[in-house]
Amino acid sequence: MSLLSLFRPARTESGRKLHDFHGGIHPPQRKTLSSEAPIRPGPLSATLVLPLNMHLGAPALPCVQVGDRVLKGQILAEASGPVSAPVHAPTSGVVRAIEPRPIQHPSGLDALCVVLDSDGEDRWTALTPCPDYRDMPRAELVARIRDAGIAGLGGAGFPTAVKVNVRDSQRIEQLIINAVECEPYITADDRLMRERAEGVIAGIQVLQHLVQPMETLVGIEDNKPEAIAAMRAAAAGTGIEIVTVPTKYPSGGEKQLIRVLTGKEVRSGGLPADVGVVCHNTGTAWALHRLVTTGEPLISRITTLTGTAFAEPGNVEVLIGTPVADLLAFGGVPQPHTGRLIMGGPMMGFSIENPLAPVVKTTNCIIAAPLSELPEPEPEQPCIRCGACAEVCPADLLPQQLYWYSKASEFDRAQHYNLMDCIECGACAYVCPSHIPLVQYYRYAKGAIRQQAAEHQKADRARERFEARTARIEREKAEKEAKRQARLEANRQKSSPATSVAAATPAADPVADLKKAVGEASSAYKAAVKIAKEAEEQGADNAADLRAEADQLKARADELKIALRDAKANAPAAVAPTAQAAPADPVADLKKAVGEASSAYKAAVKAAKEAEEQGADNAADLRAEADQLKARADELKIALRDAKASAPAPTRPAPASPAPAAPPAVSLSTAPESPTAQANAEDEASAEAERAKRAQRMKALKTAFNMSHKQWKEASAALERAERDGLPDVDTHRARVDKLKKKADLAKAQLNELVEAAKADMKASTGTDLKTLKLQAARAESTVREKTAALATAREAGDEERINVLQQELAAAEQQALETARTLKQAVAEQGLSDGDDA
């Protein structure tokens, strides 16, 4: 906002009112270095490197293969997705490779490129010009533009086909052609307009046809009088207005130029099309002109070679993909070049370290400047808060605050100060007297913010997935529950007549009746199984029949058992008095219920397993039933825990004595049934099942033993205390202690029995005992270690032969170790043993 502009509103000759944007700087132009020589054709490099991501949007996908022979203008990579552009061969030759190569990026990283070896012949492929583009359907023209790979040549590289594809709902008022070229050193558009103004105007007319604006403006800075004259002459009578804007950096910025020419402001985060404006670059217009007149795709562009290191600075029409090194040689830069090698202008361009990086569609300038011209940057000094940066910022930001908060990584505050509206023009850093690299801080902050946003999005999506999954599981559970209820109803119908039949004794209690029925059914089944087995051993004829009978009886017995469990579960209060004479204690009841539910579940699991082994139809149902019972058992366990928590010490001693006995008793009581009940024809299966059972029993016994042991300890402590304090009920304590000890000892004894049995079984089945297995595993491990150490020494010694040999040995040893470990684990798991069960 200069003072003079307050008094003299800027107007062009045609009377159009020009606006101004805040800030801006006037760096030395240095354009005469390269603006006086005409455009000359660039070199034809031996190798051309074509990055697939030359434009904004998705990288192109290669559609040729290594070794293919291509012609000039042939498509090498296709556009992928709606915002993308294809890549064409700039000259004829052979595709050498499609691989990562250093590209035009300040990071110096590689990206996928098509590497083309030119054959020097420069043969064109078949081209189809479309000079009658006005008669073509719009979509076809847009497709032609897209297929030609035309992107914004001003520096952003936005695919032109997308930009011209204006929606019918968007009314474009102004089509602005950005010929401002505000950055120092660059003169590409200047020369283009001076020499090829007619072509440029023709290209603009193509744009006009596509966009249908109300007015077309070409903005040119007043430091290019010849270009203005040439364009004015060429645009005479076409309705295209050539507007001269005052020289100020960065009036070539899209948003700033829109403001200057039309006074409109593009909303933060919005597009110019939202305010009815479309901006294109001069070079793009020229490329469009070439497309419609000759059908050429975008394979070359005008690039300024400048900087005092060039012996022959000027503008060249360079093939896209030409490595910068070739251009340096072409322009006569003495090797080795020290100083800056910049791709782009001095304000917004980036310095490249690898001169093998290629020229791409957006490279408008190469600056090779020795240190005398662009000296090394000065060291950063503290900010003196002078505010010069805020005075020159074209976006009217507060660069000082952005600097403080970007430096401190306080990204929320930086965003509050509209960090994302920074166009990174570099004007603030240009004027900073303390030489602070402000734009670098903003780039860092913007990158960190974008990364945070991406991670946030990822986390959101993960959360959504998780919620959907939990909902689905809930749904499935509910469905299962409904099915189970239905089946239970059906079962209850079936088993009630059986129960009434089996109830021989006239007892009023249905549970007791069921129990008796179960007992009878079980014994009948056992007998039948015995008979069947004998018959099979003797090879009698009716063996199969007997077996079938036995199965039937088993099924019956199982049904009755399930019915009994249900009945018991449905009437826990009635069950409690029959189980013990203790008063109705909720904890004890729950304990009983838990025990019963667990055993019911175990039985159901066994039944289900069997059924699955035999491939019976109701296997799935039984399995589901088992799941239900498990759920029930878990619920009861939780209820028991709650009850215990809400009624601590007092209730514990009372049911302590019967309770620990109950679970082992229950499991023990069911255990004798199960092995015999399970004794099927196949010995192996039975042995396995037996093992499983034993393992389970051992686990149950272990828990029981631990519990009773713990209770015994507590009782002992209580006894001690009672004795110490001289309480009257010492004797009761003592009695309890003794009882508990007996229980614990009993459990331990039983457990030991089972452990011995397991060990014996293991010995019988695997031929070894636990100890040996463990020894084997340990030995294998140590062998591995030895070999590893030997290998390391051999490596240090560099003994190749020995290394190979040792590697093989090491592999073998590792294999061995793995096997022994696995065997050990299996054996232990099968038998339900644990490490502590060694005798």
Closest approach of other proteins to the CB of residue 17, in Å: 19
Taking contact as CB under 8 A, which single stretch among the options 125-133, 344-352, 658-666, 831-839 is the one that binds other proteins?
344-352
What mask, x for binding other proteins by CB under 8 A, covers residues 411 to 450?
-xx-xxxx--x--x-xx-xxxxxxx-x-xx--x-------
Please give the full DSSP string across 108-167, using - where no structure is assigned: --EEEEEEEEE-S---B------TTGGGS-HHHHHHHHHHTT-B-TTTT--BHHHHH---
User: Interaction with other proteins in 318-337: which residues (CB under 8 A)?
Assistant: 335-337
Count the residues of the shown chain that bind other proteins, applying the rule CB under 8 A. Answer: 86
For other proteins, give the closer residue by CB, 22 or 802: 22
Chain-centroid distance, C-alpha 635:
37
Closest approach of other proteins to the CB of residue 431, in Å: 5
User: Which residue has 């060039």 as its token pair?
Assistant: 310
Cross-strand pairs, 279: 176
DSSP reduced 3-state for 551: helix
For other proteins, give the closer residue by CB, 424 or 625: 424
Closest approach of other proteins to the CB of residue 455, in Å: 21
Residue 788 binding other proteins, by CB under 8 A: yes
* 316-350 exposure pattern, b = at least 16 Cβ within 10 A, e = fewer: bebbbbbbbbbbbebbebeeebebbbbbbbbbbbe
Q: How many Cβ atoms are within 10 Å of 538's Cβ, its own excluded?
A: 9
For other proteins, give the closer residue by CB, 339 or 655: 339
Residue 586 binding other proteins, by CB under 8 A: no
Residue 266 binding other proteins, by CB under 8 A: yes
* Among 15, 67, 237, 379, contact with other proteins (rule: CB under 8 A): 379
* 793-826 exposure pattern, b = at least 16 Cβ within 10 A, e = fewer: ebeeeeeeeebeebeebbeebbebbeebbeebee
Residue 308 binding other proteins, by CB under 8 A: no
Query: Rounded to whole angstroms, what are the CA distances from 717 to 269, 454, 707?
Result: 75, 61, 15
Residue 528 binding other proteins, by CB under 8 A: no
* Among 25, 115, 560, 747, contact with other proteins (rule: CB under 8 A): 25
Closest approach of other proteins to the CB of residue 377, in Å: 5
Query: Rounded to whole angstroms, what are the CA distances from 516 to 198, 501, 508, 562?
Result: 109, 11, 13, 13
User: Which residue has 């000027």 as its token pair?
Assistant: 314
Closest approach of other proteins to the CB of residue 85, in Å: 25
Residue 467 binding other proteins, by CB under 8 A: no
Q: Where are the alpha helices (DSSP H) in 571-615?
A: 572-579, 586-614
Which tokens hold the place of 33?
């270095």
Residue 102 binding other proteins, by CB under 8 A: no
Residue 377 binding other proteins, by CB under 8 A: yes
* Among 5, 32, 381, 646, contact with other proteins (rule: CB under 8 A): 381
For other proteins, give the closer residue by CB, 641 or 785: 785
* Among 67, 269, 497, 650, contact with other proteins (rule: CB under 8 A): 269
Please give the full DSSP string across 222-239, using - where no structure is assigned: TT-HHHHHHHHHHHTTTT
* Among 219, 295, 349, 655, contact with other proteins (rule: CB under 8 A): 349
Among residues 93, 174, 88, the alpha carbon closest in space to that of 127 is found at: 88
* Among 339, 595, 655, 660, contact with other proteins (rule: CB under 8 A): 339
User: Interaction with other proteins in 389-418: which residues (CB under 8 A)?
Assistant: 390-391, 394-398, 400-401, 412-413, 415-418
Residue 340 binding other proteins, by CB under 8 A: yes
Residue 273 binding other proteins, by CB under 8 A: no
For other proteins, give the closer residue by CB, 133 or 441: 441
Among residues 171, 522, 105, the alpha carbon closest in space to that of 344 is found at: 105
Calpha distance 342→339 (Å, rounded): 10
Residue 403, H or E segment: helix 399-407
* Among 348, 357, 560, 594, contact with other proteins (rule: CB under 8 A): 348
Residue 347 binding other proteins, by CB under 8 A: yes
Residue 372 binding other proteins, by CB under 8 A: no
Radius of gyration from C-alpha coordinates of the chain? 44
Contacts 24+ apart (CB under 8 A), 121-128: 121/92, 122/44, 122/72, 122/91, 122/92, 123/71, 123/72, 123/92, 124/71, 124/72, 124/73, 124/92, 125/70, 125/71, 125/72, 125/73, 125/74, 127/73, 127/294, 127/295, 127/296, 128/295
Contact in structure between 85 and 99 (CB atoms under 8 Å): no
Residue 279 binding other proteins, by CB under 8 A: no
Which tokens hold the place of 352?
């490249």
Taking contact as CB under 8 A, which single stretch among the options 287-295, 382-390, 555-563, 766-774 is the one that binds other proteins?
382-390
Calpha distance 386→753 (Å, rounded): 90
* Among 341, 562, 671, 700, contact with other proteins (rule: CB under 8 A): 341
* Among 18, 20, 21, 320, contact with other proteins (rule: CB under 8 A): 21
Taking contact as CB under 8 A, which single stretch among the options 187-195, 278-286, 377-385, 630-638 is the one that binds other proteins?
377-385
Closest approach of other proteins to the CB of residue 152, in Å: 19
Handedness of CA 761, 766, 772, 773 (dihedral sign): negative
Closest approach of other proteins to the CB of residue 424, in Å: 8
Contact in structure between 683 and 657 (CB atoms under 8 Å): no
Closest approach of other proteins to the CB of residue 369, in Å: 8
* Among 268, 669, 706, 782, contact with other proteins (rule: CB under 8 A): 268
Closest approach of other proteins to the CB of residue 30, in Å: 9
For other proteins, give the closer residue by CB, 42 or 426: 426
Contact in structure between 831 and 769 (CB atoms under 8 Å): no
Calpha distance 307→333 (Å, rounded): 9
For other proteins, give the closer residue by CB, 123 or 407: 407
Taking contact as CB under 8 A, which single stretch among the options 9-17, 239-247, 379-387, 446-454 is the one that binds other proteins?
379-387
Calpha distance 233→239 (Å, rounded): 12
User: Interaction with other proteins in 645-704: which residues (CB under 8 A)?
Assistant: none
Closest approach of other proteins to the CB of residue 101, in Å: 18
What single DSSP character describes residue 272? Answer: G
Query: Rounded to whole angstroms, what are the CA distances from 479 to 176, 473, 483, 669?
Result: 64, 10, 6, 35
For other proteins, give the closer residue by CB, 385 or 465: 385
Closest approach of other proteins to the CB of residue 416, in Å: 2
Closest approach of other proteins to the CB of residue 367, in Å: 8
Residue 371 binding other proteins, by CB under 8 A: yes
Closest approach of other proteins to the CB of residue 272, in Å: 11
User: Interaction with other proteins in 173-192: which residues (CB under 8 A)?
Assistant: 184
* Among 16, 27, 687, 766, contact with other proteins (rule: CB under 8 A): 27
Among residues 611, 598, 513, 597, the alpha carbon closest in space to that of 554 is found at: 611
Q: How many Cβ atoms are within 10 Å of 108's Cβ, its own excluded?
A: 13
User: Interaction with other proteins in 226-265: which residues (CB under 8 A)?
Assistant: 255, 259, 265
Closest approach of other proteins to the CB of residue 758, in Å: 37
Residue 314, H or E segment: strand 314-319
Closest approach of other proteins to the CB of residue 515, in Å: 56
Among residues 824, 818, 673, the alpha carbon closest in space to that of 833 is found at: 824
For other proteins, give the closer residue by CB, 540 or 791: 791
User: Interaction with other proteins in 104-163: which residues (CB under 8 A)?
Assistant: 106, 108
Residue 388 binding other proteins, by CB under 8 A: yes
- Walk across the sheet containing 174-178 and list its strands: 240-245, 215-221, 174-178, 277-281
